[in-house]
Structure 1
Amino acid sequence: MTLDELGTRICIMGPSNSGKSTLAEVIARVKGLEVVHLDQLHHLPNTDWIPRPPDQFAALHDAAITGERWVIEGNYSRLLPQRLARATGFILLDVPTSTSLYRYFRRCWFERDRRGALEGGRDSVKWDMIRHIAVATRANRSRYREMIDGISLPKVQINSTKALAAFYRSNGLKR
């Protein structure tokens, strides 16, 4: 599946720190799409990842998907049905847990201007996030693998960092 076959409204999902934000930014740049980072809509800016009230987040999400040209990255499964109803393509990243943990620590300790970061926020190592990546993500991975089979959109499932690098290369994408 090529990037062009995914159309002009692309959903990217996957575990925390799997590369969703970076991939979304690169695709947006190459295809001239608006990039939407769901974490930025879900959390209040200038906070330490404090969530917005659910109705505010849903309103921001639903407004974002009304556009004709976007790539949206993030999970937030309760809003997935309306996202998929508007999407023209779907990408599922499923890198190993060890990769996600490594990227989480790297993000917190070394990356100051990371793609998809919360405005005015700064990532810091949190036990809740480590536990989420190491434990909760396992169940999410299984759910996402089952979910992708039921998606009738053009789709790509990327199961390793090697496969992700190959996707970048085969579509002429550069980080």
Structure 2
Amino acid sequence: MNLSDIGDRICILGPSNSGKSTLANAIARKRGLEAVHLDQLFHRPNTDWEQRPRDEFIALHDIAIAGERWVMDGNYSVCMPQRLRRATGLILLDISTASSLLRYFRRTLFEKDRLGALQGGRDSVKWDMIHHIAVVQPRNRKKYRAMFEEFDLPKLQLSSLRAIKQCFRDWDLAR
């Protein structure tokens, strides 16, 4: 599949720490799209990942999806139906739980200026996040795979870190 085949409104779904924001930024630069990171809309800037009120998040989300040219990374099932109705293409990153955990520790311990990070926020190892990756996400993976199959959009599933790296090469994306 060519990058242009997935259109100008692209949703990237997948587990935490799978590389959604990195891929979204690379696609945005290559295609001249706005990169929208749902973590930044869901959490208040300049906090330690404090959540916004639900209505405020949904309003910010709906403003973002009203645009004509974007690549949006994140799951947040509370507003996924309207996002997927606006999307022209879908990418599912479906990497293993072990890979997500490894990437989480690398990102929180070593990456200071991460693309898609919360403005003014602090990435640090949190037990809640470890639990989310190790326990909650494996259950969600089945839900996201089923949702991915349900939608009749141009779509691409990348099921390993190797497949994601190959996608970067195939589409000539810069990190």
The 5 A counterparts of 1:148-167 are 148-167=148-167
Point out 4+ residue stretches in structure 1 off by more than 4 angstroms: none
Percent identical among aligned pairs is 63
Single out whichever of 23-32 and 78-87 deviates more from structure 2: 78-87
- Residue 27 of structure 1 corresponds to 27
**Matching residue's letter, 1:29:** R
Partners of 1:161 and 1:119 lie apart in 2 by 26
The 5 A counterparts of 1:51-70 are 51-70=51-70
The 5 A counterparts of 1:104-115 are 104-115=104-115
How far apart are residue 174 of structure 1 and its match?
Answer: 2.0
TM-score by length of 2: 0.98
Matched, 1:88 2:94: no
SS state at 1:153 partner: coil
What do residues 50-89 of structure 1 show as CA deviations (whole Å, max 9, x unaligned)? 1000000000000001111100000001201110111100
CA RMSD, aligned part only? 0.7
SS state at 2:72 partner: strand
TM-score by length of 1: 0.98
How far apart are residue 93 of structure 1 and its match?
Answer: 0.2
- Residue 18 of structure 2 corresponds to 18
Partners of 1:38 and 1:147 lie apart in 2 by 18
Partners of 2:169 and 2:100 lie apart in 1 by 21
The 5 A counterparts of 1:125-140 are 125-140=125-140
Paired positions, count: 175
- Residue 7 of structure 2 corresponds to 7
SS state at 2:133 partner: helix
- Residue 71 of structure 1 corresponds to 71
The 5 A counterparts of 1:115-130 are 115-130=115-130
**Matching residue's letter, 1:24:** A
**Matching residue's letter, 2:50:** I
Q: Mind listing any 5+ residue stretches in structure 2 that lack a counterpart?
A: none
SS state at 2:22 partner: helix
Partners of 2:93 and 2:54 lie apart in 1 by 25
